[in-house]
Amino acid sequence: MSVTISVVVPLYNEEEVIAESYRRLKEVMDGTGEEYELIFVNDGSRDQTWHLACALAESDPRLRLIGFSRNFGHQTAITAGMDAACGQAVVVIDADLQDPPEVIPAMIAKWREGFQVVYGLRTKRKGESFFKKITAKLFYRLLNSLTDVDLPVDTGDFRLIDRAVCDALKALPERNRYVRGLVSWVGFKQTAVEYVRDERFAGVTKYPLRKMLRLAGDGLTSFSYKPLKLSIFIGSLVSVASFIYAIVIVCQRLFTDVLVSGWATLACLTLFFNGVILIMMGIIGQYIGRIYDETKGRPLYIVAERVNFEGDRDKNA
């Protein structure tokens, strides 16, 4: 059977939503009239997600499962799904139903028009805190200002990509992956489909603040060297300010009766400069850490189990 559309769904502790997610995805894809496959990638779930997915796959050969040996991360799960997909187009969507599957037919229509990347553009985000909304907006705009790659704002990983784009992504060797940024980097003809993002159907978010910050860090360090240039700018600024302050102190000592402050001033300056140095070292360390990860040469993920796959089409890349 020739597959036209592959739908990749990363899973992590989604026992409360997996049945409804599968039902809606199947209903939508059946309605398109396209030949399709659903690829659920279990990213080391600790609940009943894998067992529930296996039960669903028993009665549906179009549902294909990949089970990681442990938790490798959301972006890696997306990558594994793309590696295994054999469709002429690949849709990436999370299982929590915040991104409605009912938008997929509109994406397919845009793909049929000749667009090779069709990303979901959120016009409204229901059920999310003001803090998350404002920080997301600020991050996307900051990232755009720091990079030479045009990254669409107010978008996530929910998108359709053509087979040519998928093959280009598979050729990229990064270990710390920021998939939505990589999709923009490879280029091709891109457009958007607008939609309203719903509240999570059930369960809790798998992207708490800690993981959001890590994803933001991956985005910044993957696509911009400007944080490294920032250390040069701040270092130069601090050096100039220190030189001017030294001149002021000398002039006070030689030409005025003002008592030059001692330990308090020295302590404040020392703490300030040490803080700047540590921040800059931290930024440099982030880049060095990425270099270290890239040079180890370990596989990006390890597959423990596969269900409903014909042969060894997926790779531990």
User: How does strand 36-42 pair with strand 89-92?
Assistant: unpaired
- What is the per-residue pLDDT for 105? 93
CA–CA gap between residue 161 and residue 88 (Å, rounded): 9
* Residue that has been written with the tokens 């000592």 in this structure: 253
CA–CA gap between residue 272 and residue 245 (Å, rounded): 14
Low-confidence ranges of the chain (pLDDT < 70): 1, 125-133, 135-148, 199-232, 239, 243, 245-246, 249, 252-253, 257-269, 271, 292-294, 311-317
* Residue that has been written with the tokens 């139903």 in this structure: 97
The pTM score is 0.69
Note the pLDDT tens digit of each residue in 267-316: 666 767 777 777 777 777 777 777 766 677 778 888 899 988 876 444 33
Q: What sign does the dihedral 290-291-294-298 (CA atoms) show?
A: negative
Phi, psi angle pair for 300, to nearest 5°: -65, -35
Q: Which residues pair with 118 in a beta bridge?
A: 160, 191
* Cβ(148)–Cβ(220) below 8 Å: no
Amino acid letter for position 170: K
Which DSSP string do the residues of the chain spell out, in sequence order? ---SEEEEEEESS-TTTHHHHHHHHHHHHHHHT--EEEEEEE-S-SSSHHHHHHHHHHT-TTEEEEEESS---HHHHHHHHHHH--SSEEEE--TTSSS-GGGHHHHHHHHHTT-SEEEEEEEEETT--HHHHHHHHHHHHHHHHH-SS-PPSSEEEEEEEEHHHHHHHHT---SS--HHHHHHHH--SEEEEEEEEPPPSSS--S--HHHHHHHHHHHHHHH--HHHHHHHHHHHHHHHHHHHHHHHHHHHHHH--PPPP-HHHHHHHHHHHHHHHHHHHHHHHHHHHHHHHHHH---S--EEEEES--SS-S---
- What is the per-residue pLDDT for 315? 39
Pick left, alpha or beta for residue 297 (phi over 0 → left; psi -120 to 50 → alpha; otherwise beta). Answer: left
* Cβ(304)–Cβ(65) below 8 Å: no
- What is the per-residue pLDDT for 132? 63
- What is the per-residue pLDDT for 295? 75
Of the candidates 241, 210, 223, the residue with the CA atom closest to the CA atom of residue 176: 223
CA–CA gap between residue 85 and residue 35 (Å, rounded): 13
CA–CA gap between residue 197 and residue 294 (Å, rounded): 35
CA–CA gap between residue 177 and residue 290 (Å, rounded): 11
